[in-house]
A and B are shown apart, each in its own frame.
Chain A
Amino acid sequence: MSQHVHQSPVRSRQIAVVLALVAVAFYVGTFFFWVPPQ
């Protein structure tokens, strides 16, 4: 099937990895909104 597909599967994986990293960054970033008690 893949020979019919116009676009590159490598590019698909690259976009997916970038988006996954964005999601992880938002997850980790959430914890930095906690302000320790003064």
Chain B
Amino acid sequence: MSSGSIAAHDHGHDHAHHGPTGLARWLFTTNHKDIGTMYLMFSMIMFLIGGSLILSVRAELFQPGIQIVQPELFNQLIGLHALVMIFAALMPAATGFANWMLPLMIGAPDMALPRLNNWGFWLLPPAGTILLMPLVLYFFGIGTGGADAGWTLYPPLSAQSGWGIDFAILALHLMGISSVMGSINVVVTILNMRAPGMTMMKLPMFAWGWLMTAFLLIATIPVLAGAITMLLTDRHFDTHFFNAAGGGDPILFQHLFWFFGHPEVYILLLPIWGFIPHILETFARKPMYGYKAQVWSLVCIAALSVIVWAHHFFTAGMPVQALLYFMYSTMSISVPLAVLFFCWIATIWRGSMTFETPMLFALGFIILFGIGGLTGLVLADVAADAQYHHSYFVVAHFHYTLFAGGIMGVMAGVYYWLPKMTGHMFNEKLGKLHFWLTVFSFNLTFMPQFFVGLAGMPRRIPDYALQFTEFNMISTIGAFALGLSQLIFVYNVVTTWRGKGEKATDGVWEGSKGLEWQLSSPPPHHSWDPQPVVK
């Protein structure tokens, strides 16, 4: 493991660093920590914007009938919520962690390609602006509004929709290029910048998780880009890739989209599955259980994720043999995922556990993400999916996966590494309050959605039948509580970043292991210079 002894390191000093200050520092920086900070800040801002969009939707769904949001705007809000949360909040958060922590954890002075790194980040703010601008203009009576075909952008709806789709296509291309550049940087850094003595099987689990993510991004983002390029030419240049009237096939778009879209779920989760074991071993004060089993599970999950895509549209129609293949291949992912779950549980089994905020979020992640995983198995069943497809059951399932598994995982990581990044401890009481409010309000929001989904309430609809009213009211109250409780998180992070908390030690946590904890808090400008030797 990477926590092996270090033969030589001389990192207490910081080299004289005479770079630009102020805005220029952030604009031109090639330092992995500065770029990581910008990614994380961008992610947090977009998380708040994406959350605000969906609170408008939940306000509308508080009661049946149309009260606040007209259907045209409703469609924009749900589509942009998903696009913002996935591409501008969760993905940049993972890239922010990669930038900040990978060089520290593998004993590198910086990322391998620092200028590419800068470029990768600075594509994101324009992309986020382009994605959201049509919605803002819509409020001023300009244009047809933001992308209103859901995050999946299925034709024929997206082929006929207003200019928001064009803006979304451009934004997704930019974000895709950014992701591919970031991924190339991660792969090169892990393959070529490791400290002497750090073999691949001594890599921190976080590096393995990100390595798999990076390969998936390099293979699947270009397919999404190709599909939406075709969509763009269908819209404006009279091609007929997806236009049935011209001999095209709208189902082709679904295949291409989900060839990207399903691995995307693992792209969001693999980095988190990488650092959750580090958090568990730190606060259980035990070595990570089943290192090799976890590594090979991550590899298996990444490989399987690209061959299961069609379970997202079983109901679109395909041969029975294809249905069976995609059902069984999807279910087979539960095997390596179960290995990960059991390794996480075995890591904390009989450990000397303490329940600091990062550990609470990691444990909450395991339980709630477990519900997300198990309900995914239900949806993978072809016979059952015929009823559950496009219902609120699906919405509840993927929020247990992507909020409990994704956002709560990211929060575990933020609380875990924030003292290392800032040199200051966060407010533990506020952290715990944030955790309990998040867990309670999250379940209040999404548990009722399983029930209304099972009872037949369709998703992406601004109105609903009267019998769903009570559960929707509960869900809306939960959503506003969930949104408001995230302000505690923002306050805690910002005050810690401004140096309000007590000074953090180098190791920060009593049970911390790994190279990143051997550097000062915050780490010096050039992280490992010279590189350590891992035995």
Enumerate chain A interface residues (CB-CB to B < 8 A): 1, 4-9, 11-13, 15-16, 19-20, 22-31, 33-37
Given contacts A11-B192, A22-B219, A26-B222, 19 further A-B contacts (CB under 8 A): A1-B109, A1-B110, A1-B526, A6-B531, A15-B188, A16-B113, A16-B116, A16-B184, A19-B183, A19-B184, A19-B188, A20-B184, A22-B218, A23-B221, A23-B222, A30-B222, A33-B252, A33-B256, A37-B247
Residue among B193, B225, B226, B529 with max Cβ neighbours from chain A (10 Å): B226
**B530, CB-defined interface residue at 8 Å:** yes
Q: Does the CB pair A19–B192 fall under 8 Å?
A: no
B264 shortest CB reach to chain A, Å: 14
Please report the C-alpha to C-alpha distance between residue A8 and residue B220 in the assembled complex, in whole angstroms: 29
Across the interface, name the chain A residue whose C-beta is closest to B183. Answer: A19
Contacts A5-B531, A30-B227 hold; do A19 and B187 have CB atoms under 8 A apart? yes
Q: Which residues of A contact B185 (CB under 8 A)?
A: 16
Neighbouring B residues of A19 by C-beta, 8 Å: 183-184, 187-188, 218
* Interface residues in B235-268 (C-beta closer than 8 Å to A): 240-241, 246-249, 252, 255-256
Q: Which residue in chain B gives the minimum CB-CB distance to A17?
A: B184
| B48 proximal to A (CB < 8 A) | no
Q: Decide if B102 is an interface residue (CB 8 Å cutoff).
A: no
The number of residues on chain B lying at the interface, defined by a beta carbon within 8 Å of a beta carbon of chain A, is 42
Bitwise interface map of B from 102 to 125 toward A, beta carbon under 8 Å scored 1, else 0: 000000111011001000000000
Residue of A12, A23, A27, A34 ringed by the most chain B CB atoms within 10 A: A23
- For chain B residues 172-227, which have a beta carbon within 8 Å of chain A? 180, 183-185, 187-188, 191-196, 218-223, 225-227
- Nearest chain-B residue to A24 (Cβ)? B222
Cβ-neighbour of A1 out of B112, B219, B255, B529 (below 8 A) = B529
Determine the distance from Cα of A6 to Cα of B116 in the docked complex, in whole angstroms: 20
CA distance A5 to B530 in the complex (A): 7
What's the dominant secondary structure at chain A's contact region? helix
User: Which B residues are CB-close (under 8 A) to A26?
Assistant: 218-220, 222-223, 226
The 7 closest A-B pairs by CB, nearest first: A30-B226, A37-B247, A27-B222, A26-B222, A4-B530, A12-B112, A7-B192
**Once the chains are docked, how many angstroms separate the CA of A19 from the CA of B240?**
31
How far apart are A27's CB and chain B's nearest CB, in angstroms? 4
Which residues in A have their C-beta under 8 angstroms from that of B59? none
B226 near A27 with CB under 8 A, answer yes
CB A4 to nearest CB in B, in angstroms, measures 4
Contacts of B108 in A (CB 8 A): 5
Residues in B with CB closer than 8 Å to A15 are 187-188, 191-192
- How many Å lie between the Cα of A5 and that of B528 in the bound state? 9
Cα separation A24 to B230 with both chains bound (whole Å):
15
Residues of chain A within 8 A of B530, CB atoms compared: 4
CB distance from A19 to the nearest CB of B (A): 5
* Chain A residues positioned under 8 Å from B247 (CB to CB): 36-37
30 contacts between A and B (CB under 8 A): A1-B110, A1-B526, A4-B529, A5-B108, A5-B109, A6-B193, A6-B195, A6-B196, A6-B531, A12-B113, A12-B193, A15-B188, A15-B191, A16-B113, A16-B116, A16-B188, A20-B180, A22-B219, A23-B184, A24-B222, A26-B226, A27-B222, A27-B223, A29-B226, A30-B222, A30-B226, A30-B227, A34-B230, A34-B248, A35-B249
Q: How far is the CA of A6 from the CA of B533 in the complex (A)?
A: 10
Cα(A22)–Cα(B185), bound, Å: 14
Residue of B nearest to A3 (CB): B530
- A1 CB to closest chain B CB (Å) equals 6
Q: What separation, in Å, do the CA atoms of A16 and B184 have in the docked complex?
A: 6
How far in angstroms is the closest Cβ of chain A from B460? Answer: 26
Q: B191's closest neighbor in chain A, by CB?
A: A15
Nearest residue (CB) in A for B528 is A4
Q: A7-B192, A22-B219 in contact; A30/B256 too (CB < 8 A)?
A: yes
- Residue pair A7, B193 in contact (C-beta under 8 Å): yes
B contact residues around A27 at 8 Å (CB)? 222-223, 225-226
CA A20 to CA B219, docked complex, whole Å: 10
Please tell me if the beta carbons of A4 and B180 are within 8 angstroms of each other in the complex.
no
Provide the bound-state CA to CA distance between A22 and B221, in Å: 11
* Residue among A4, A7, A11 facing the most chain B CB atoms (10 A cut-off): A7
A24 to B176, CA, bound (A): 12
Q: Among the listed B180, B195, B223, which residue makes an inter-chain contact with A30, where contact means beta carbons less than 8 Å apart?
A: B223
Give residues of chain B (257-305) contacting chain A, Cβ–Cβ below 8 Å: none
Please give, as numbers and ranges, the residues of chain B lying within 8 Å of A16 by CB-CB distance: 112-113, 116, 184-185, 188
